[in-house]
Each structure stands twice: as structure tokens, then as C-alpha cells.
Structure 1
Amino acid sequence: MSILSKPSNTQNPRISVAPMMDWTTRDYRFFARLFNPNVVLYTEMVTTGAIIHGDVKRHLDFNSQEHPVVLQLGGSNPQDLTTCTKMAEDWGYDEVNLNVGCPSDRVQNNKIGACLMAEPNLVAECIDQMQQAVSIPVTVKHRIGIDDMQSYEEMLHFVDTVAATGCNYFIVHARIAILQGLSPKENREVPPLRYEDVYRLKRERPHLTIEINGGIKSVEETQQHLQHVDGVMIGREAYHNPYLLAECGQFWNLEMPDRFDIMQQMMPYIEQRLAEGAPLSIITRHILGLFQNLPGARKWRQALSGGNAQTLTDIEHALVNMRESIQRSEQQKQLHHISI
């Protein structure tokens, strides 16, 4: 059994960063890996059509330092999904995940994402054929329900139907998706979180590996969820505050990396990407949250966003200013302590 698909606990957990469209690009994943060697990283969702009929290299390429890395596929045609799953294995991915959670209108129209929860037999057929084609794990990410299918029993039926294929890893977003009436953004915020449904799924199906997703923003919350399930998937907080991934290193007794050391490792990568012709702005947008919650963080974001950073030198200047802001803050704290 792959290290990616084995059950976890608080001593050896599976913690991952959720696949997020336009956010978990290869540049972000390289950056995220510098915070923690063990966190599992996901690509953005890639549709089978984009891979089969588009630029395969653009959609599948990743840096070897990203491992462990998972390709998330969007699709509902068993043959196409099988083809892309085999391509993913040949490309070197550690795992393939099927998206049964995205609520956007665009993917619904192509029978992709959360709407597939209404068709468990089709999802099972897809997963069965995908698994037979490869030796790497094939997993499913889904919601706890959709529209008028909101009961725990209906989710359980979906999971049992898919698990009958031999699939044993389910990542559960602990919100329903309202496919008619709510935007994708609203579907991440409006439906209430029902963590207990995910906990119950693990209790009632202990042989399955269950990872929880939805609204998780801290190490403390992660720790609490790991008392009930096998893994935790962190979403937008891991993007806006990537140092959270470093803080999660305590689950593996890792030392906390220094933020400036992370940027020292990031700079050669940025230089390489610029040499490949990538605009600096598409890389710097992923590092804006590096100093979140620290003095000077706002100026750091301003210096790198909106095209303000034109060269590597601009980034270096922003780093110098950031270091000075932190030092000034520490000096002020010391003086305040002395005066007391």
C-alpha cells in the first residue's frame, strides 16, 4: 500500500493542501513544499478533455521536489479518466484523485464535480476502471451532500457504492453543495459545516481511510480533527498563511523553518522560471502570505503585488525591508519590557 493511501493518526498523520483552481499551481506547490516535506500537495483540478486534447506538458508537468503530489482529475467518462490516470502514473504522480466536490456551473454542465454525487454507480464505474489501469492509489474527494440529497444516509450510500470497487480513501468536504442558487464562493461559506457527519462516517466505516476538509485554519483544529479521522485537508488558509504548513511540522517533530531561509531557497527557482519566460507576477502572487501576521506583512504584500515587483532585485529589497520591520518590532518589545 502506498504511503499516500495508508491510514494516519496524530503521530503519523496525512495532512494535505486542497486542490484550488488558479491557486495550487506548480509555482505555489514548489513554494509550499519548502515549509514542510511531508504535507501532500494537489494540483488544480484538470479536466480529462484538457489533458487528452490540450497541452499535456502544461497540464501535467511538475517539479520533482513537489513529491508527494497528487493529480486531481475532473471528468465522468470512464475511458477518458482511465487514459488520464495512466498518463498521470507514467508522468510520475504519486496518486490520482477524482473531483466529486466542485460546485461551479461550468463543471456541472460537463458532468464534473459535485453533481456526480447523484450518480454513485457512474462514479464507481469510473473509479473501478481507473484503479485497474494503475498501481498508484486512486481516491475520491466529495461533499457530504448536494441539493435535496443532504442526509447522512445518502452520503453513506455514495461512499459504500464507490468503496465496493476497492477504493478505500475518501476526502470529505464537510459541507453540502447547493448546485442551484449558490455561487462556488458561497458554496464554500454558506452551507454549515457538519464535521460530525464525517466523524460518523469514519466510526461506521473504520476500514476506510477518511480525510476531512472544510474551514480548517489552525494546527489546533487539525489536531482536534485527527482525534476522529485519518487525515486533514487544509484549503485557503494554507494559501493565505502558508507558514501554517511549517507549524504542522510538529506532527512529525520537524524543526520550524525560517521564513527568510525559505525565500533564499525560493529565489533560484524564481530565477529559473523567469529564464523560462514566466512573468514574475504569476510567481510572486503565491508568496504574498509568507509573512502573514508579522510586522511589515502589509508592506511586503504591497511591494510584490499589482506588478510592483519587476525584478529579483525588487524582491530582495522587499526582503530587506521586511527583516528591518521585524527587527524594529522586536526592539520595541524589548524596550517596552525594560520600561515595565
Structure 2
Amino acid sequence: MLQFTLRRLASGVILLFAISSVAFLLLNLGAGDVGRRILGPGASTETVALKNEQLGVDQPVVTRYMDWLTHAVTGDFGSSWFTSQPVSQAIFSRLAVTLSIVIGATILSGLIATLLGVWAARQRGWPDRLVQVVAVLGFAIPGFLIAIFLVNVFALNLGWFNPTGYVQISASFPGWLSSVTLPVIALSIGAIAAIAQQVRGSVIDAMRQDWVRTLRSRGLSDNRIIYKHVLRNAGGPALAVLAVQFIGLVGGAVIVEQIFAIPGLGQISVSATSQGDVPLVMGLVVAVGALVVIVNLLIDLIQGFLNPKVRVS
């Protein structure tokens, strides 16, 4: 198991290195006159040149990349070109907010999708068709439309939740729960659709196996067979889809946070990309890339636990 974990971790580090390298080159090759963009059109040529020299953007791209990489491996991603705030501080101060929404949406979608998928696989008939229709609708309707609908109905019309804002969990747990409920639901709908379809198909395939008939012949109840044995064998593909959905939820959170005015990564992602704030964008790329590596590693470890064949593949 240790060798399996180390292999997966090494491949994740290589992936993170490749993503950050490509992102740095793309951002810097198309950066243009950074000093002019920061200081404005009214700045003199000498002032712009001095600003470019201070930022180091007058150096060749390879030199800048090696300098950035040398500092990045120590956790120093520089400072924002426009606010002078350290990139690490800007990201980590908002990362917990975004993760609280994304993790909540992942847990909610995983639980509901598993129940729906198992229900459709066991009952077939109209429950199966209903789940498939719901899945198609979940795929088709964009998350931001669901978010707007939830705000209009449950916040503005019914008054059950505040339409915008975020409460820190350390300040008030009920207030935090109220502030993240609608964003979590808005993010979960599409993920539930994708995971439920995968769980349904995997459970149906597993229930057709000979070992399931053997368990039934021994007198085991359907609930015990499905929830103790079938789901363990069918969990691998569903977990893979869940990992993909987690990464998609991080991207979807950018839009949802804007709708609900939540101070997460969404706000600085939009401002950093619109301004061309390369250090901050690179910090976001590395942060999201690290999340991808961590989530995939956890999913691989869980799959390795559920299915020992995965560890030797």
C-alpha cells in the first residue's frame, strides 16, 4: 500500500509541475506591457520601465520562470501586482470559505446520488426512468440558473435565508449553515445527476454477477447484499466520477460565489484574471492543482482499499 501511495503521489507532483509550468508560460508570453497596465496610460515611459524592472517582467521568460519556481517550492508565490498583498495570504484567507461550500456540495451530492442510483437500480420501471429524467435535467440546467432560482424563491420570496453574505463558522454555526445552504444546493444538482447515473449503472452490473446470486441463495437480505457487498464492488467508478465532480464544483463555485456575494476564491479569481494579475493567477492555478492532486490521491487510496486489484495496476 505504501508503494502504491508513493507512486500516486509522485505522479500528482509531476502533474502539478506540468500544469504550473504551462500556465506560467501562457500567462507571461501574453502579458504585454505590465507596467503600463498597472500605472495607466498617463504614466511616463521612464516610470513604466522602472515599474517593469521592479516587477522583474523585463527579464526573459525563462529567467522569470526559474525565479518563480525557486520561490514557489518554498511556498513564496510573490505578491499581487495590483494590491501588493502576498499571494499566499490572499488565497488562504479565502480558501476555507470555498472549500466549505465545495466539500458540503460533494458530501450532499454523493449521499443523494448513491440513494437515487441504488433506488433506480433496484426498482427499475418508473423509478429508473424518473432518475434518468432528473439526471438529464441536472445536466441541462446551468448551475447559475439554479442559484438564481433558489435566491428568488427561498431568500427573496419566502425569506428563509439571506440572499447574500457569508458567516464564519467560528462566529456562528447556525449562521454559517444558513449562509452556505443555498450555494451548496445550487452546486449539488449537476453533480447528483452525474453520480446517480454512474451508481445506477454500476449497481445494475454488479447485481448481475454470479456471486450476488450465491449470496441470495445463502439467505442474505437484499439490503445487506447491496449496501455491504454490491456498493463496495460498484464504488470504484462512482468514486472516480465523484472526484471529477469535485474539481468541477471548484470551478462552479466561482460563479455561485459571485451570485451569493460570498468572499471565497471566486471573487479574487475574477478580479485577478480580468486585471491580468499573473502572480495571483499563478497562485490560484497551483492551489487548484494541489486540490486536484489531493482529491485524486484520496480517491485512489479509497479505491485501493475497496479493490486490491487497483493497487497493482
Q: If the TM-score is normalised by the length of the shorter chain, which range does it land in?
A: under 0.3
Q: Between Structure 1 and Structure 2, whose CA radius of gyration is higher?
A: 2
Greater relative contact order structure (CA < 8 Å, 6+ sep): 2
TM score, norm. by length of structure 2: 0.23
- Bigger fraction of residues in strand: 1
- Bigger fraction of residues in helix: 2
TM score, norm. by length of structure 1: 0.21
